[in-house]
A and B are shown apart, each in its own frame.
Chain A
Amino acid sequence: MASSNAFMRARYKYFPDHLVGELLSKRWMESAVPTVILVAVFLYLVGTLPNYLTPVNLMDMGRLYAEFGLVVLAMALVMIGGGVDLSIGSMFALCNVAMLSLINMLGWPLWVAIPSVLVFGAALGAINGFLIGYLKLRAFLTTLVTLIIYRALFDIVLQNFAVEISGGFLDSEVWDFIGDGDVFGVPSSLIAFLIVAIGGHLVISRTRPGWHVMAIGGARRSAYNAGVAVNRTIFMTYVVSGILTALSAIFFAARLGSAGSDVGVGMEVGVLTAAVLGGISLGGGRGSVAKATMGSAIVLLITNGMLRMGMEGGSSSVALGVILLIAVGIDVKWLKNRHKIISKVYVSPAYLDLPSAPSAEENSGTPYEVNNRLKTVTAIGLGKLEGPEDVILDHNDNLFTGTRHGDIMKFSGPNFEKQEVFAHIGGHPLGMAFDPDGNLLVCVGGMGLYGIKPGGEVYRLTDQTNRTWYSVNDDSRLRLADDLDITPDGEVYFSEATIRYEMHSWSLDSLEGRGNGRIICYDLNTGKTRTVIRNLLFPNGICTSFDGMSILFAQSWNCSISRYWIDGPKRGQVEPVIPNLPGYPDNINRASDGNYWLALVGMRTPTFDLALKMPGFRRRMARRVAPDEWLFPNINSGCVLKFNEAGEILDVLWDLGGENHPMITSMREHKGHLYLGGISNNRVGRYKLENADPDWVGIDTYWGKPK
């Protein structure tokens, strides 16, 4: 049993399960599969075909790639806009014949002929664009029909002028350069392709027209309602597609100078395969130039490789057809089920072996024995608050607390009957502390660390920290800043409970039992943010010790309080203070007698402690059972503890009935009273402390009495 435990511990410690979900939720992962395929196909071809890496071959491949790639870019643009263009093969053939007949038959100079062919391609695309954009025909069927129309035109032209078109021979250096020139070994057409690709990338990702295309493809109806000129934009995608196809045909014409009857036949299948394989979705809204270039490289390598291995044209088209179907199938299914898969895989439990919990039962002899002292708690703002996680009071007996709606509420008056919105920040304000200048610093879940001036003006302190280079999730952003405290040097230490979940789904972190949280330090003097301690199990409450030499912090999921030395000989070290609590610790704050208050948000149960030792069980639960039915730690009934510097429990306050103040996430002592916050409560609790200093104000222990 012991060895199997050790095995399990090591397996969950070193095998990064959580990366699966994090990787899957990355957009760039979708390009990873095509990249792997590309590299594999390339290596295979290099290994099997002789002379594959010679400059001559690479140059030839470069030309083929440029011509094919331009057409794929054309298709990609149309597809991103939510359409499809099957007529490109015929357009390609027509433009090829147009180019050759202009220069060979009619003898036009190149500088007239080339723009003319581009315009011709634009016109062919414009017909498609008009039919699909303005007449609202279905792209697929319409371009299928224009495919035969253009092909029929091509056949008619070829029937009548084949000899004249192929007969002439243009003797021009420029034309030869377009056909097989190169610059430092890079083929001319490849240079043109690269320019178009970079330009296309900038247009799609950085300009208004590009965003419009993306928007229409992603949500046509919303784009229309948002005022995007849907018809015109779609029209333009087909026009541009025609121009790119014409450009490709010009390079083709210059390279081969032939007008065979099978030019461009079946080209649309290869081009579609390239686009879909690269990761451009049928139906629009998803795709990029990089994906198109990747897809075209794969398809070109495959078709060219099959040709060189002496396979028939038939089996090559079979292969393309199958690849196309598989790629589309995966794309359709992945798009549809992406969220389901990620939500199932994302929760990745780890192994956590907690020592057995000390009892809190009556007459158990432990310091945690239940009592009913919180029975006398009175409510402040009952029903007018939602989610006051932390409370704090200033010298003038004003009480501040955050709400779920992103407001900071201020209660004043002898019995706190006057309620006003002190400031609106957004997010979910959690832990609070006053700085030496009387500004209220707040950890805002979902936003970061913010400050509020005494006049109610909100300003941002920090919302990011240094990025860990090896982390998959971007950990520079602050997802869940939880509680903070300020040291005498003006450093704000605050906890980020988890870097894997957002504010609204923080409870899922409890299922993982992994150190996903961290403690971050923001320096008020320099304005710099740095991560101090990583891999903590839901770090929560933070409190600077009275001597200012260390900070105490709570880790909720492993039920412990630790001390982090910020000064003195042990500087930088972490040592346990209370290693094993009977519940999940939340905020820590100073008490008037030189000790510390600690809130336990909920009590441990043997069931969940056992579940923490069975990661497989929790993983199956997260995958197979509806979230409503999951086993979560209890966060509904807890208590308030008082402990001293040595970690001994001195006092405990319970609400046995659970009616008065069931859930406690924080408590703040102020002038003989204890004020209680709870993240799912609709009130702030107030409890009269016996034998407490009736003039004690928490802020004074930090910054001294005001003058």
Chain B
Amino acid sequence: MAVQRSDQNSVAGSRIKQFIKSLNAAWFTQERIVFAIAFILFAAFSVSLNGFFSVDNLINLMRNVSVLGILGIGMAIVVIGRGIDLSMIAVMAVSSAWTLQLMQNGHSLGLALLGGLVCALSIGVINGLLIAFVEIPALFATLATGIFLYGVGKSTLLDLDVIYLPENLGWFEEIGKGRIGPVPMAIILCGVAMLAAYLFLSKTRFGRFIYGTGDNPLAARITGIPVRVIITAQYTLASFIGFFAGIIVSTAVSAMNTRIFHSTMIYDVILVVVLGGIGLSGGKGSIRNVIVGTLLIGTLLNGMTIMDMQYTMQNLIKSLILLGAIILDSFLHPRNEETAQQGDI
């Protein structure tokens, strides 16, 4: 018996040793660190801020970040494929605003939705073509198409900066306003979108190809993966997700304010993705990282709002955190002179 016990002890001991060993390196993934920070922040806010830890506020928090989470999915897909999409907010704002505008102009809901969708997808395809075929750096191309779309929206498509949702649209309004039990529809839609994206990225051939393309585009191309098609598809998908998020926003508040393009929302989306642990060098990460990143940002935004912090100060703090996240990312996925790609800006 005694012998057996000592055996058990030693087994347990070695397991602990292994655990500690694994703590040193592998356990400290960015995802876990961020999750821990989110948890600590959450606990701190719960203790220190009045009205933070209440069901209403938490549901509110979740609903507020659900749009960020959805946009984060689109950005995650693009970033995994070694790209970035700065035009997502412009797509979200202008395409959904145009849908509302079409309805204002007396068109049917179906036609309006189709119009918005075509608008969003065409920008996605243009992004993809510019990046995959013309080989313009992704940041650059999407920055320009975002400005382009916003300018077109402002000057030709839309009458005003803020477009309101017509009344009595039935089920359509439920997308943003509805609830299933106590849970707002937006949270459920965000969850569904995340599940779908998870399955898409991990279970479908196309999803795996995105990982391959992001990890090493040249090798992927040699293997026979249609890299250019994949890249075009991933931007189109991101634009589609932007449109989807825009519909949720505009039905939730019964309007779409296109000035949101000038806000720092796109950086929030990047923050979600980068902070969650999806490396900007591509090929790494999953939807789980998006969830973690969304939770952290949600907690932070909600806490700062409850603290009644100035909007400009919030921007400053968020952008400093984003800078910290990028620096962390560069330490976790370092580049050096020997492996850096020429012209990689």
Mark A residues whose CB is within 8 Å of B: 82-84, 131, 135-142, 144-146, 148-149, 151-153, 155-156, 159, 219-221, 224-225, 230, 266, 269, 282-284, 312, 314-318, 320-322, 324-325, 328-329, 332-333, 336
Question: What CA separation (Å) do A336 and B135 show in the bound complex?
Answer: 10
A283 in complex: contacting residue of B148, B155, B315, B345, CB < 8 Å: B345
B window 297-316: CB within 8 A of A = 310, 312-313, 315-316
Question: What CA separation (Å) do A428 and B223 show in the bound complex?
Answer: 44
Q: Enumerate chain A residues within 8 angstroms of B267, measured Cβ to Cβ.
A: 144-145, 148
* Total number of B residues with any Cβ neighbor in A under 8 Å: 46
Q: Enumerate chain A residues within 8 angstroms of B16, measured Cβ to Cβ.
A: none
Question: What CA separation (Å) do A553 and B12 show in the bound complex?
Answer: 97
Knowing A148-B319, A153-B316 touch, does A325 contact B141 (C-beta < 8 A)?
Answer: yes
Interface contacts beyond A156-B313, A269-B147: sample of 14 additional A-B pairs, CB < 8 Å, sorted by A? A82-B343, A137-B326, A138-B330, A145-B323, A152-B316, A156-B312, A282-B343, A283-B344, A317-B151, A324-B144, A325-B144, A325-B145, A328-B141, A332-B135
Q: Enumerate chain A residues within 8 angstroms of B218, measured Cβ to Cβ.
A: none
Q: Enumerate chain A residues within 8 angstroms of B143, measured Cβ to Cβ.
A: 269
Q: Say whether chain B's binding surface is mostly helix, strand, loop, or mixed.
A: helix
Q: Interface centre among A145, A266, A324, A336, by most B CB within 10 Å? A: A145
Minimal Cβ-Cβ distance residue in A for B262: A265
Knowing A135-B330, A137-B330, A269-B147 touch, does A220 contact B342 (C-beta < 8 A)?
Answer: yes
| CB proximity of A26 to chain B, nearest CB, Å | 23
Q: Enumerate chain B residues within 8 angstroms of A266, measured Cβ to Cβ.
A: 147
Question: What CA separation (Å) do A284 and B141 show in the bound complex?
Answer: 17
Knowing A153-B316, A317-B151 touch, does A82 contact B323 (C-beta < 8 A)?
Answer: no
| CB proximity of A309 to chain B, nearest CB, Å | 14
Q: Determine if B134 and A149 form an interchain contact, defined as CB atoms under 8 angstroms apart.
A: no
Minimal Cβ-Cβ distance residue in A for B321: A145
Minimal Cβ-Cβ distance residue in A for B84: A141
Q: Determine if A321 and B151 form an interchain contact, defined as CB atoms under 8 angstroms apart.
A: yes
Q: Enumerate chain B residues within 8 angstroms of A320, measured Cβ to Cβ.
A: 147
| CB proximity of B27 to chain A, nearest CB, Å | 25
Question: What CA separation (Å) do A305 and B323 show in the bound complex?
Answer: 38
Knowing A135-B330, A137-B327, A282-B345 touch, does A149 contact B145 (C-beta < 8 A)?
Answer: no
Q: Enumerate chain B residues within 8 angstroms of A224, measured Cβ to Cβ.
A: 337-338
Q: Enumerate chain B residues within 8 angstroms of A328, measured Cβ to Cβ.
A: 136, 140-141, 144
B151 in complex: contacting residue of A142, A219, A230, A314, CB < 8 Å: A314
Q: Say whether chain A's binding surface is mostly helix, strand, loop, or mixed.
A: helix
Question: What CA separation (Å) do A141 and B345 show in the bound complex?
Answer: 8
Q: Determine if B155 and A312 form an interchain contact, defined as CB atoms under 8 angstroms apart.
A: yes
Q: Decide yes or no whether B280 CB sits under 8 A from chain A.
A: yes
A83 in complex: contacting residue of B137, B145, B280, B345, CB < 8 Å: B345
| CB proximity of B24 to chain A, nearest CB, Å | 24
Q: Decide yes or no whether B340 CB sits under 8 A from chain A.
A: yes
Q: Decide yes or no whether B37 CB sits under 8 A from chain A.
A: no
A84 in complex: contacting residue of B134, B154, B340, B345, CB < 8 Å: B345
A-B contact pairs, 6 of them (CB 8 A): A145-B267, A151-B315, A318-B151, A318-B152, A324-B144, A328-B140
Nearest first, the 4 A-B pairs at minimum CB distance are A283-B343, A318-B151, A314-B154, A152-B316
Q: Enumerate chain A residues within 8 angstroms of B147, measured Cβ to Cβ.
A: 266, 269, 317-318, 320-321
Question: What CA separation (Å) do A136 and B326 show in the bound complex?
Answer: 11
B window 322-345: CB within 8 A of A = 322-323, 326-327, 330, 334-338, 340, 342-345
Q: Determine if B136 and A329 form an interchain contact, defined as CB atoms under 8 angstroms apart.
A: yes
Knowing A315-B155, A318-B151, A320-B147 touch, does A149 contact B323 (C-beta < 8 A)?
Answer: yes
Q: Interface centre among B140, B141, B270, by most A CB within 10 Å? A: B140
Question: What CA separation (Å) do A82 and B344 show in the bound complex?
Answer: 8
Q: Decide yes or no whether B264 CB sits under 8 A from chain A.
A: yes
Q: Enumerate chain A residues within 8 angstroms of B195, measured Cβ to Cβ.
A: none
Q: Enumerate chain B residues within 8 angstroms of A325, measured Cβ to Cβ.
A: 130, 136, 141, 144-145, 148
Question: What CA separation (Å) do A123 and B79 show in the bound complex?
Answer: 32
Q: Enumerate chain B residues within 8 angstroms of A314, measured Cβ to Cβ.
A: 150-152, 154-155
Q: Enumerate chain A residues within 8 angstroms of B343, measured Cβ to Cβ.
A: 82, 282-284
Question: What CA separation (Å) do A8 and B66 show in the bound complex?
Answer: 72
Q: Enumerate chain A residues within 8 angstroms of B229, measured Cβ to Cβ.
A: none
Q: Determine if A139 and B345 form an interchain contact, defined as CB atoms under 8 angstroms apart.
A: yes
Q: Enumerate chain B residues within 8 angstroms of A329, measured Cβ to Cβ.
A: 130, 134, 136
